[in-house]
């Protein structure tokens, strides 16, 4: 995001996250889901710019559009025409209004995957998860209660991510990083009373971490080939410029087949294609390489998140879990790269892989 154009809206939205009464909202939000509440809390002060009765949708629509978040921009633009009224003061969001806005946002995200993905990016840019967790710490007294409520928030966010098909989204590294922070705090107590909570937070973190690895694999994994014997194929219709490749074959040399006009692929024959499964040793090596590349991508995603946090606070004020997370992610990157080199598939170095 260009820093000058978005600095003021981001600051205003972050203030909304800090001011929200999270314990009360999470305890009784009238059915509003947590991801929706987080988004609504950030949007509330932006939409309240004209006071009660009128929603200031224009500037918010323009802001989202400038960031390429067209689905969110369209949703905000329709709020006024859908009958949504502003019944809140700029400095004190009304909980009932906030819950109503959250319900609308959650329903839109559940029915529109593009909007859900943009919402996840918006929440990441707002630093909404660490801000909400910090707000809970300020509201709550005893440290044990703080940790319980923070786990509750992370648990609800994770459940929403699964429901909205946001596993592996921009929120994934954030939830992993914040779960790591809670884990570090719980571990430092050396108190058996926290064992069950520690196990729960660790399990939550591991689920999100695996989702990131699986998502990275889905984005960068090998092409799945389909059998192209004329009698076995489904004969899909391909558009102009499409490339078709088939699976269940051992291919010595893959030749691109480009469809110039809309047509149906009837058969593909080549002396370099042999039917049947690839040799066992080749298949096992390919699986190992794919697995290590997934791990490498996941470690780099976590590193990027921690470096972003470090850039916000600076080294002097960095939380211990951020510096530890950076070291841990770089160690994971080094292990994955060493494994890939040993497998004969070395990975390219990236500037942030090393200090």
28 forms beta bridges with none
Q: Do 230 and 215 reside in the same domain of the chain?
A: no
Q: Do 257 and 305 reside in the same domain of the chain?
A: no
Tell me how far CA of residue 285 lies from CA of 278, 319, 328, 339, in angstroms: 11, 40, 26, 11
Residue 273 has pLDDT above 90, yes or no: no
Strand 249-251, strand 263-264: pairing: unpaired
Q: Do 145 and 272 reside in the same domain of the chain?
A: no
Q: What distance in Å separates the CA atoms of residue 227 and residue 223, rounded to the nearest whole number?
A: 13
Mean pLDDT value across residues 20-41: 78
Q: Do 144 and 80 reside in the same domain of the chain?
A: yes
Q: How confident is the model at residue 32 (pLDDT cuts 50, 70, 90)?
A: low
Q: What is the pLDDT of residues 100-144, one digit of tens each?
A: 888 889 999 999 999 999 999 999 988 999 999 988 888 877 678
36, containing H or E segment: helix 34-47
Q: What distance in Å separates the CA atoms of residue 227 and residue 233, rounded to the nearest whole number?
A: 6
Q: What is the pLDDT of residues 40-67, one digit of tens each?
A: 989 888 887 544 455 667 888 888 998 8
Query: How many domains is the chain partitioned into structurally?
Result: 3
Mean pLDDT, the chain, rounded, equals 74
Q: Percentage of the chain with pLDDT > 70?
A: 70
Q: Do 258 and 230 reside in the same domain of the chain?
A: yes
Question: Buried (b) or exposed (e) across 12-34, using 16+ Cβ within 10 A?
Answer: bbbbbbeebebbebbeebeebbb
Residue 194 is predicted with a pLDDT of 86
- Look at residues 261, 278, 295 and tell me which one is the last residue of a structural domain: 278
Q: Could you list the residue range(s) of the whole structural domain that residue 251 is in?
A: 223-278
Exposed, middle or buried: residue 137 (CB in 10 Å: 0-12, 13-18, 19+)? Answer: middle
Q: Do 204 and 127 reside in the same domain of the chain?
A: yes
251 forms beta bridges with 273
Residue 114 is predicted with a pLDDT of 92
- Look at residues 278, 295, 317 and tell me which one is the last residue of a structural domain: 278
Q: Do 140 and 208 reside in the same domain of the chain?
A: yes
- Look at residues 211, 245, 278 and tell me which one is the last residue of a structural domain: 278
Q: Do 177 and 271 reside in the same domain of the chain?
A: no
Q: Do 98 and 123 reside in the same domain of the chain?
A: yes
Coil, strand, or helix at residue 300? helix
Q: Do 106 and 9 reside in the same domain of the chain?
A: yes
Q: Do 146 and 266 reside in the same domain of the chain?
A: no
Q: How many CA atoms lie within 13 A of 20 on its CB side?
A: 35
Q: What is the pLDDT of residues 164-218, one digit of tens each?
A: 988 878 888 899 989 988 988 888 888 888 889 999 999 999 888 888 877 766 6
pTM as predicted: 0.61
Q: Do 77 and 55 reside in the same domain of the chain?
A: yes
Length of the chain measured in residues? 355
Helix crossing, 70-79 with 113-125: angle to 10°?
100
């Amino acid at each position: 995001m260009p820093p000058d154009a978005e600095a003021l809206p981001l600051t205003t939205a972050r203030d909304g996250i800090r001011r929200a009464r999270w314990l009360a909202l999470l305890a009784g939000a009238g059915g509003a889901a947590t991801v929706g509440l987080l988004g609504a809390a950030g949007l509330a002060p932006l939409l309240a710019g004209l006071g009660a009765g009128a929603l200031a949708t224009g500037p918010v629509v323009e802001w989202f559009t400038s960031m390429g978040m067209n689905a969110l921009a369209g949703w905000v633009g329709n709020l006024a025409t859908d009958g949504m009224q502003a019944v809140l003061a700029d400095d004190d969001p009304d909980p009932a209004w906030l819950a109503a806005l959250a319900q609308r946002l959650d329903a839109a995200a559940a029915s529109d995957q593009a909007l859900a993905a943009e919402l996840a990016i918006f929440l990441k840019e707002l630093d909404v998860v660490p801000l909400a967790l910090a707000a809970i710490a300020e509201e709550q007294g005893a440290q044990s209660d703080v940790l319980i409520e923070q786990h509750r928030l992370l648990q609800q966010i994770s459940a929403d991510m699964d429901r909205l098909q946001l596993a592996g989204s921009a929120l994934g590294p954030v939830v992993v990083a914040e779960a790591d922070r809670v884990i570090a705090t719980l571990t430092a107590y050396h108190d058996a009373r926290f064992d069950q909570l520690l196990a729960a937070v660790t399990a939550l973190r591991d689920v999100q971490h695996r989702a990131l690895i699986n998502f990275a694999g889905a984005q960068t994994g090998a092409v799945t080939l389909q059998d192209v014997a004329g009698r076995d194929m489904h004969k899909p219709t391909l558009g102009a410029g499409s490339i078709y490749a088939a699976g269940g074959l051992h291919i010595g040399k893959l030749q691109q087949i480009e469809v110039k006009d809309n047509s149906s692929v009837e058969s593909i024959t080549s002396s370099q294609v042999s039917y049947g499964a690839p040799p066992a040793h080749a298949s096992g090596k390919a699986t190992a390489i794919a697995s290590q590349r997934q791990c490498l991508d996941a470690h780099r995603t976590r590193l990027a998140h921690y470096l972003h946090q470090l850039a916000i606070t600076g080294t002097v004020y960095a939380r211990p879990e951020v510096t530890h997370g950076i070291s841990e992610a770089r160690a994971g990157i080094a292990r994955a790269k060493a494994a890939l080199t040993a497998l004969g598939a070395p990975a390219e170095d990236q500037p942030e892989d090393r200090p």
